[in-house]
Every structure is written in structure tokens, then in C-alpha cells.
Structure 1
Amino acid sequence: MNRNILTAKLGALFLSTGIAAASAAEGEIRKIDEAAGKVTVRHGPIENLEMDAMTMVFRVPDMAMVEGLAVGDRVVFEADRVNGAITITRIEKAD
């Protein structure tokens, strides 16, 4: 997909979901570990964390945040450092 079209679609998605574009990232869920309270996401750059695209494990403070999500789902999310751990603070299924 053309990068400009993707950027425009993501901007519209961020506005419609309430997720701020500056702190949001897109990704794909690769694993959900409910017992550990963690989610593995293959994601694009996360600007507020100065992080390049990669696959990594994120802490999830409340597993209810990922209810209805499954491995392979495309998501839009926010992440930040919380008590020293990189943590998903908001996550939604992408359209």
C-alpha cells in the first residue's frame, strides 16, 4: 500500500478512535500470554519511545484490554514506560 495512503488512513483511524497520532503505533499481535500479563506485537516505529519497528513483548496492566483480540489481529496502540517496563497503555483493533 502506498505509504501516503496508509498514513492518511491511520490518521483517520486515530481521530476516530481517540488515540493520539503522535503517541500511537500500528502492529500485529503475534502472541497473547494471559498468565504473564504480556502481549507480543510486531510493530512499526513508536515515536514517544524512540523505538524502531520490531517485534517485542509488552506488559499489559489489565488483560481486559486485549479481550476480543487474537493472534494475527492488526492493532493500533499506545505504549509507554510504566515503572521501568514498556507497557501498552491503550490498544484497539485496527479496521
Structure 2
Amino acid sequence: MKNLNTLMLAAVLAAPALFTLPAAAQSAAAPEKGAVAAPAAMPKTEGEIKKVSKETGKLTIKHGEIKNLDMPPMTMVFNAKEPAMLDQVAVGDKVLFTVVDEGGKMVVTEIRRTP
């Protein structure tokens, strides 16, 4: 009888874990709807730096199609995710960059000069 009580107690204590495992596995396997992919997984866009504004933390870039935002080629102003990005580029530099839409704000999350 003692073994049966111990077995039942173990089953009762383990039951909550059994119900949370499938939900945890599902959230790890598939991102939530509307979630933004990590920058490393985002496509890079070619562009040319037209203006660097350290005062406002913004870059003006003439760019090709931004596929992840379904945006055609144009020249526009972007916010730099990190102020240090503004020191990595200068007017006239050809660049590859990643941009995301953060609540209607276009933010460059990664940028590097190209030859």
C-alpha cells in the first residue's frame, strides 16, 4: 500500500510538467505570429550612404529592394539601432545592411561597407 501511495504522489506531482511540455516545445519550434526574425536571418540590402547624422542617430541610404519589408528601391532615412553604426560608414560608402520595421520606425540593425 505504501508503494501505491508513493506512486500516486509522484504521478500527481509530475502531472503539471506533462501539460506544460507540449506548449513549451511548440513555442520554441515556431515563432509567434508577428514575431521578427533575428537579424542574422534577415536578408541584406545593398545601398549607398547619402548622409550620416550623428546628432539624430539617422542614416540616409539610397537602397535597392528591401525584401523583408516588401519595399521598392528608393532613398530614405533610417534610424540606426546603435550609435556606433554611424562611425562605421561615411557619405559615398557602398553598404550591405539589414533593416526592420519597429512599430513604423525603420531601424538599421546591421550594416557593413562593401568594396
CA contact (8 A) 2:64 2:72 kept: yes
Question: 1:35 maps to which residue?
Answer: 55
2:97 matched to 1:77? Answer: yes
Taking only aligned residues, the RMSD between alpha carbons, in angstroms, comes to 1.8
CA contact (8 A) 1:22 1:47 kept: no
2:78 matched to 1:58? Answer: yes
Q: Any runs of at least 4 consecutive aligned residues in structure 1 with deviations exceeding 6 A, and if so which?
A: none
C-alpha separation in 1, matches of 2:42 and 2:81: 22
SS in 2 for 1:67: helix
Question: How many aligned positions are there?
Answer: 77
SS in 2 for 1:63: coil
C-alpha separation in 1, matches of 2:42 and 2:88: 25
1:49 is aligned, of 48, 53, 69, to: 69
Q: Given residue 52 of structure 1, which amino acid in structure 2 is its aligned partner?
A: P
2:106 is aligned, of 82, 86, 89, to: 86
Deviation at 1:21, TM superposition (A): 8.3
Deviation at 1:65, TM superposition (A): 1.5
> C-alpha offsets along residues 60-92 of structure 1, whole Å, 9 cap, x if unaligned?
121202313110000000000123201101000
Give the structure with the higher percent helix.
Answer: 2
Q: Given residue 62 of structure 1, which amino acid in structure 2 is its aligned partner?
A: E
Q: Which structure is richer in relative contact order (CA contacts within 8 A, separation 6 or more)?
A: 1
Give the structure with the higher percent strand.
Answer: 1
Residue 33 and residue 47 in structure 1: after superposition, are their counterparts in 2 closer, same or farther (change >3 A)?
same
- Structure with bigger gyration radius: 2
Same amino acid, percent of matched pairs: 42
2:91 matched to 1:68? Answer: no
Deviation at 1:23, TM superposition (A): 1.4
C-alpha separation in 2, matches of 1:22 and 1:45: 13
